[in-house]
Amino acid sequence: MQHTTFSYPLKRIGLIGGGQLGKMTAQAAREMGFFINVLDPQPQCPAASVADAQLVGDLYDGAKIRALARLSDVLTYEIEHIDIDTLKALHDEGYPIYPSPYVLEIIQDKLLQKQVLDKHGVPVPAYQQVDVVDAEFLANATFPLVQKARRGGYDGKGVAVLKSPDDIDKVLNTPSMVESFVPFKKELAAMIARDKHGNVACYPIVEMVFDDRTNICDIVAAPADIAPEIAEQARQVAVKAIEVLDGVGVFGVEMFLTQEDTILVNEIAPRPHNSGHYTIEACVTSQFEQLVRIVSDLPLGSPQLLSPAAMLNLLGDEGFQGRPVIAGLAEALAISGLSFHFYDKAITRPFRKMGHITVLAEQVSTALEALEHAKDVLKIQGEETLK
């Protein structure tokens, strides 16, 4: 093997977005001696306490993105909603950006993303482009259907499930696409890491469980309780999805397991993903370290699962806002195998993602039971109560 040398600081990684994904990426980078510069509009963003430097600026501010690039050797991002034109220009000038802004451009538009996957034989739900979802469209539609904003959605915002023409008040007034509603058995996900040489590391197939009220992913079970053949099928679909995009980086691939035991790709995130938080404690190489390795052109780490695990998102309690107050922390930490992550957000709001916990156990079912117990005792409240 050719000897590689790195002078100190090993590499300066520029990260667009300083939320919790940015914080955990920065932690992995710092652990390995890499420098990390963050661009985020909020001076006290979660990544700020870990990063070497922060530029305060909007993620659509091209001048700020260029300034970040000048401070850094390579750029990556923790969020899709960023200025793509500047990134494409930088890329065309030869500046390294992972994943490529051309891949991000496809993923940013849910319709284009589906079209590209579909064209290359990656299974997706039946979909169609619509200019406007109006009474006339609904009069002729087959229900239930799912309307999705082409751009800008996250955490279920930008998704409307329409059950009949009477749901016209739920319609999103934005350029969108519609999909047939998939009455899935389970929602699955996998983190796929792919380097610029085409090497791939596929993490275990996990199950995502959603909170009915918020449509936010609530619990992740790793590995998913599915037959080995289904896990293998999901793995193949997820890897293919990233290969057809020629994606280089770390990707969260969200999938549906249908009633017929087939796999459909729901959507792809071109960055570390909530369904991969468990990899911090449960896998040899976390999704965040994997991203640091890829952007630094170092070999992929092992995605091997060391222990079954379950992860719970800690969402801001419904009745509170203001400075966070963590209730039941000691009781939760008394649970064997539990790790607590807090994102350093100065303000809580109902259902805001404030942190997460991961439990390792010999069986996923045991980890899930422990999580349920933790969910009862651990609450992210706030200094102000809401009526």
Residues near ligand ATP (CB under 6 A): 125, 146, 148, 153-159, 179, 181-182, 187, 210, 215, 217, 254, 266-267
- In the list ligand ATP, Mg ion, none, the entry touching 181 (Cβ below 5 to 8 angstroms by class) is ligand ATP
Tell me how far, at minimum, the Cβ of 170 lies from ligand ATP, in Å. Answer: 13
Contact 207, 274 (CB under 8 A): no
Instruction: Name the binder of 187 from Mg ion, ligand ATP, none, CB < 5-8 A by kind.
Output: ligand ATP
Give me the least distance between CB of 210 and ligand ATP, in Å please. 5
Using DSSP bridges, classify how beta strands 176-180 and 53-56 pair: parallel, antiparallel or unpaired: unpaired
Selected range binding Mg ion among 68-76, 205-213, 250-258, 368-376, rule: CB under 5 A: 250-258
The residue at minimum Cβ distance from ligand ATP is: 182
Q: Which does 241 bind (CB under 5 to 8 A by kind): ligand ATP, Mg ion, none?
A: none
What the block records as the tokens of 207 is 């199950």
- Name which of 41 and 158 has its Cβ closer to Mg ion: 158
For the bound state, the minimum distance from the C-beta of residue 182 to Mg ion, rounded and expressed in Å, comes to: 13
Is the Cβ of residue 69 or residue 268 nearer to ligand ATP in the bound state?
Answer: 268
The nearest distance, CB 34 to Mg ion, in angstroms, is 29
**Least distance in angstroms from the C-beta of 254 to Mg ion:** 5
Q: 53 forms bridges with which residues in the sheet?
A: 37
Give DSSP secondary structure letters for 259-319.
TTS-EEEEEEESS--GGGTTHHHHBSS-HHHHHHHHHTT-PPPP--B-S-EEEEEEEBPTT
Residue 37 in contact with residue 75, Cβ under 8 Å? Answer: no
E strand map for the chain: 12-16, 35-40, 53-56, 74-77, 127-130, 145-149, 159-162, 176-180, 186-194, 200-202, 206-210, 217-222, 249-257, 263-269, 309-315, 320-327, 338-342, 353-360, 379-385
182 binds, among ligand ATP, Mg ion, none (CB under 5 to 8 A by kind): ligand ATP
Q: Which is nearer to ligand ATP, 266 or 279 (CB)?
A: 266
